[in-house]
């Protein structure tokens, strides 16, 4: 996937169904608005460079001679790409040993307390070179793209030292250079766990994070957002508030890990600091729902982590019924969700959270884009990025989540370029 040359004028014709087609990008969808996915049968789409130019019905298809490339969709369905707003896909090694421990009955917290979990990945990451990390993350990123993901957020958080965190964020910057057809956002998650050198000295670690890590990250412009694992056994609400305030001085908004292990206060502190999103929310009460209502913070759930850890699923149904927006993301990471499949995430949204296929589709596309802080992706509309995937002809929209292991995708187009496998 090299650099793009944008003289391309592409026509996609004979589209059986154009999914998520708008006159202009609608922005985040909330409550009942999530139950609608506008669709156009027998359509064409024109792409100019990296953006969608226009679309319409095949009865009005423009003359092919004015295009440099024509793709015949053969009545397959064209979807806007998935936008995965929460991943940790830069990591070293893998943690299937802990997978065995989990099967034998240990919980995520017990594994973490024994020095496994995040610290296990941190040891491996600090031993790995920047090049090794770049190569392994590139393989994962390519797999995500082949699965229809066009926008993605990637966090640091396995360094837990100044050098380790900067190394991770530089790898993310290199991924951005290597994959210009993907929209990549980076998040500084120094407060993922207390680094080994600071074992038992959590507040000294947070001091160091605020005084050393954060200014170093900001000086190199390495992060769009800041994240804190605000949860029982990890970081407190007060520490989260401090990190969010300090990061705001550098222009970084929050994307907070909240309420995965307990009702942590992470939602409230995230909303109070105008976080872009609060994520996980496997546990949520009416108090959190009320706090989120009327805020700009997007509730984001990660059903892949619930699946893999065997913990409760977030109450996505309740959040939407309360009139709120909902985004779903993969949480791709070696410990709690070793998968970046957004189709699987969308299926879990339906099966486990009781979202309709339309709601779940909006949660992994347009609302995922909003949780990434991107306004021109995740829908098919003139002026938006031409990041889309084509499937074989489908009987209905619900088939996408229903046939959850069937390889339906026949082609992925990212910012106007076809992804070649
Ligand atoms: O989102 N909850 C915290 N962080 C990750 C897990 C990271 C890990 O176990 O390596 C998550 O689930
Ligand atoms: Fe996470």
Confidence of residue 186 (pLDDT cuts 50, 70, 90): very high
> How many Å apart are CA 139 and CA 104, to the nearest integer?
30
Q: Residue 271 pLDDT more than 70? A: yes
pLDDT digits (tens, 9 = 90+) for 84-132: 999 999 999 999 999 999 999 998 888 888 778 999 999 999 999 999 9
Long-range own/partner contacts, residues 111-116 (CB < 8 A, 24 or more apart): 112/193, 112/233, 113/233
- The atom number, within ligand 1, closest to the CA of 86 reads 1
Average pLDDT, integer, range 221-234:
96
What percentage of the chain has pLDDT greater than the value 70?
A: 98
pLDDT at position 6 is 52
Q: Residue 363 pLDDT more than 80? A: yes
The alpha carbon of 179 and the centre of ligand 1 are apart by a number of angstroms equal to 25
| Whether the Cβ atoms of residue 187 and residue 156 lie closer than 8 Å to each other | yes
Going by CA atoms, what residue is nearest to atom 3 of ligand 1?
A: 229
- The atom number, within ligand 1, closest to the CA of 305 reads 12
Confidence of residue 225 (pLDDT cuts 50, 70, 90): very high
Q: Residue 158 pLDDT more than 70? A: yes
pLDDT at position 75 is 98
Confidence of residue 392 (pLDDT cuts 50, 70, 90): very high
pLDDT at position 111 is 87
The alpha carbon of 188 and the centre of ligand 2 are apart by a number of angstroms equal to 12
Going by CA atoms, what residue is nearest to atom 1 of ligand 1?
A: 331
Q: Residue 150 pLDDT more than 70? A: yes
Q: What is the mean pLDDT of the chain?
A: 96
pLDDT at position 116 is 80
Contacts of 21 (CB under 8 A, 6+ apart): 38, 39, 40, 43, 55, 379, 380, 381
- The atom number, within ligand 1, closest to the CA of 229 reads 3
Confidence of residue 2 (pLDDT cuts 50, 70, 90): very low
The alpha carbon of 200 and the centre of ligand 2 are apart by a number of angstroms equal to 23
Q: Residue 1 pLDDT more than 90? A: no
Q: Residue 3 pLDDT more than 60? A: no
Structure pTM?
0.96
Q: Tokens at residue 350, please?
A: 């339906």
The alpha carbon of 401 and the centre of ligand 1 are apart by a number of angstroms equal to 25
What is the best residue among 331, 332, 338, 345 to mutate for testing ligand 1's pocket, by most ligand atoms within 8 Å of CB?
331
What is the best residue among 190, 312, 336 to mutate for testing ligand 1's pocket, by most ligand atoms within 8 Å of CB?
336
78 backbone dihedrals φ, ψ, rounded to 5°: -110, 125
Average pLDDT, integer, range 183-208:
97
Q: Residue 407 pLDDT more than 50? A: yes
Average pLDDT, integer, range 217-223:
98
pLDDT at position 270 is 98
pLDDT digits (tens, 9 = 90+) for 296-352: 999 999 999 999 999 999 999 999 999 999 999 999 999 999 999 999 999 999 999
Residue that the structure tokens 């694992």 belong to: 229
Average pLDDT, integer, range 292-299:
96
Domains and their CATH numbers in the chain: 9-81+379-420 (2.30.40.10), 83-372 (3.20.20.140)
Pocket of ligand 1 (CB under 6 A): 88, 117-118, 121, 229, 257, 260, 305, 331, 333-336
- The atom number, within ligand 1, closest to the CA of 231 reads 2
| Cα distance between the two ends of the chain | 9
Lowest mean pLDDT among 4-13, 62-71, 391-400: 4-13
Average pLDDT, integer, range 258-282:
96
| Whether the Cβ atoms of residue 191 and residue 206 lie closer than 8 Å to each other | yes
The alpha carbon of 290 and the centre of ligand 2 are apart by a number of angstroms equal to 23
Average pLDDT, integer, range 259-282:
96
The alpha carbon of 404 and the centre of ligand 2 are apart by a number of angstroms equal to 23
pLDDT at position 421 is 60
């Amino acid at each position: 996937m090299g650099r793009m040359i944008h003289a391309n004028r592409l026509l996609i014709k004979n589209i059986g169904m154009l999914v998520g087609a708008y006159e202009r990008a609608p922005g985040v969808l909330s409550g009942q608005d999530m139950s609608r996915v506008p669709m156009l049968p027998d359509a064409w789409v024109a792409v100019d460079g990296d953006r969608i130019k226009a679309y319409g019905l095949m009865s009005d298809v423009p003359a092919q001679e004015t295009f440099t490339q024509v793709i015949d969709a053969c009545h397959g369905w064209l979807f806007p790409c998935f936008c995965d707003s929460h991943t940790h896909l830069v990591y070293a090694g893998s943690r299937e040993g802990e997978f065995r421990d989990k099967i034998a009955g240990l919980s995520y917290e017990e594994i973490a307390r024994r020095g496994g979990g995040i610290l296990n990945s941190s040891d491996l990451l600090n031993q790995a070179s920047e090049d090794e990390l770049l190569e392994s993350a590139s393989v994962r990123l390519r797999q995500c793209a082949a699965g229809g993901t066009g926008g993605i957020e990637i966090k640091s958080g396995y360094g837990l030292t100044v050098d380790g965190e900067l190394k991770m964020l530089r790898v993310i910057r290199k991924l951005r250079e290597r994959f210009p057809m993907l929209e990549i956002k980076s998040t500084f998650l120094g407060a993922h766990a207390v680094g080994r050198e600071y074992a038992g000295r959590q507040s000294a670690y947070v001091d160091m994070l605020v005084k050393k890590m954060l200014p170093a990250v900001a000086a190199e412009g390495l992060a769009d957002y800041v994240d804190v694992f605000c949860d029982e056994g990890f970081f407190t609400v007060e520490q989260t508030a401090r990190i969010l305030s300090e990061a705001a001085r550098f222009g970084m908004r929050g994307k907070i890990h909240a309420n995965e292990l307990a009702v942590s206060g992470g939602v409230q502190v995230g909303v109070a600091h105008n976080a872009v999103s609060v994520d996980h929310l496997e546990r949520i009460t009416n108090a959190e729902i009320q706090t989120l209502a009327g805020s700009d913070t997007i509730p984001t759930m990660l059903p892949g982590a619930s699946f893999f850890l065997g913990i409760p699923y977030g109450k996505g149904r309740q959040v939407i019924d309360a009139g709120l927006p909902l985004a779903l993301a993969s949480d791709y990471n070696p410990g709690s969700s070793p998968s970046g499949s957004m189709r699987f995430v969308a299926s879990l949204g339906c099966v486990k959270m009781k979202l309709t296929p339309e709601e779940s589709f909006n949660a992994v596309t347009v609302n995922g884009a909003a949780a990434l802080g991107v306004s021109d992706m995740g829908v098919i509309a003139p002026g938006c990025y031409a990041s889309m995937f084509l499937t074989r002809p489908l009987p209905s929209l619900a088939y996408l989540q229903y046939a959850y292991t069937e390889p339906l995708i026949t082609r992925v187009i990212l910012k106007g370029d076809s992804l070649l496998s």
